[in-house]
Amino acid sequence: MSRKIKFGSVEVSVDGEKLKVGDIAPDFLAIDNELNEYSSKEDDGKIKLISVIPSIDTSVCEIQTTMFTKARENLSDDVSLITVSNDLPFAQVRFLEEKEITNNKFVSDYIHHDFSKKYSTLINELKLLNRSVFVIDKDNKIAYAEYLDQNTDLPDYEKAIEIVKSLEK
């Protein structure tokens, strides 16, 4: 199944079924900033806030990342903030260093496309990720899922943070 979304004024497609609240979150592999394999199992037992962006080198992605990074400061150590993109790890590291971000784990899906296939976020025509947000509880169930139909829009980060806070209690 393929669904149509927008990337600015261009219509593009994403394959797969959207994940929904109550689904078990698929484990995935990605590449960390040291070019090592990252497994989402590393964060099992924590609340996972997964912020998915097309490219860190765009203003909307920077805003989304900044909003979640600032919100992370007021969350417990039981929360893991993970940003996923298809940017090369070198670009991710550059961004993290420039912005002095230390509380946001960046991983890249550029090699395996494992995350994007399992979470239905790979934009076929561009090989970038469809902007989305997932909150996964400590039992690995999806508590919140938002897929944006227009990639130049921002997600409802306040709603995602509200869900994270409700899971912390």
Residues annotated as catalytic are 61
User: Left, alpha or beta for 102 (phi > 0: left; psi -120 to 50: alpha)?
Assistant: alpha
Task: Find the Cα–Cα–Cα–Cα dihedral 80, 164, 121, 84, rounded to 10°.
Answer: -20
**Cα–Cα distance between 162 and 166 in angstroms, integer?**
6
Q: What value, to the nearest 5°, has the Cα angle with vertex 136 and ends 146 and 95?
A: 70
What phi, psi does 15 have (nearest 5°)?
A: -90, 155
What phi, psi does 127 have (nearest 5°)?
A: 60, 30
Do residues 120 and 27 make contact, with C-beta atoms less than 8 angstroms apart?
A: no
Indicate the SS3 state at residue 102: coil
Token match 């897929």: residue? 147
